[in-house]
Structure 1
Amino acid sequence: PELFQKKLRVDPQVFDAILDQISNHHIFSNNSNNPQLPVAIQLAIFLNRAGHYGNAISPEDVCQWAGVSVGSVINCTNRVMVALL
């Protein structure tokens, strides 16, 4: 839990509660041949970015941490923001 909280800035229980609230949002559905990342991964990417400030959290840094492309980091961040609003 310590590393989880350090990277995502929330307790695992809070993460699960947020995930339950947003996982059925239509923004996470598509008819593309390229499936989206699981909602839990998208939320983790968003929380990692939202919980840090400045140069330490560029999309390039997050893509290395998450093992995805820069475009995926941006798309995941945008999708989760829409789902939260």
Structure 2
Amino acid sequence: DEVCTAQVLFKPAIHLMHAPQIQLLPEFTDHWPDLFRKKLHISPDTFDFILDSISGHLIFQNNSPNCQLPVALQLAIFLNRAGHYGNAISPEDVRQWAGVSIRSVINCTHCIMIALLDQHDNFIFF
């Protein structure tokens, strides 16, 4: 009886770290495209097409000493958010998946949306 009613809270002595999963995407592209599609909801070929189409957009250019994240990483972050719903699209969850800051998740989302909307006729069909 006591075992069933006792509640023990356990806090590990060390903080468990988790590696970002986004670094697995190149491996998924080459060996498990279904897992790539599961995370980003598009095929690797479609990802490459979109990446080639938007990489030259002015939103990804800056004169700051602080470099932007690579466009491929920004696109992956955006697609991960766009392809999920609920808590899975929160900046915190995407931050953990991508290994970047919450602000970077938000900035990447904005930059990719601007680049895609500027090429509306190439990417958005009804």
Aligning the two structures, in what range does the TM-score lie when normalised by the shorter sequence? over 0.9
Deviation, structure 1 residue 54 = 1.2
Check if 1:62 corresponds to 2:94. Answer: yes
Q: Give the equivalent residue in structure 2 for 1:21.
A: 53
**Cross-structure match for 2:81:** 49
Cα deviation 1:52-80 (Å, max 9, x = unaligned): 01112200000100000000000000000
Task: Quote the sequence identity (%).
Answer: 74
Gaps of 5+ in 2: 1-32, 118-126
Give a deviation string over 1:31-53, Cα, whole Å, max 9, x none.
11110000000000000000001
* Aligned residues of 2:88 and 2:94 also touching (Cα < 8 A): no
Q: Does residue 39 of structure 1 match 2:71? A: yes
Larger C-alpha radius of gyration, 1 or 2?
2
Q: CA deviation at 1:16?
A: 0.4
CA RMSD of aligned residues (A): 0.6
Structure with greater helix percent: 1
Bigger RCO of structures 1 and 2 (CA < 8 A, at least 6 apart): 1
What TM-score, normalized by structure 2, do the two folds share? 0.66
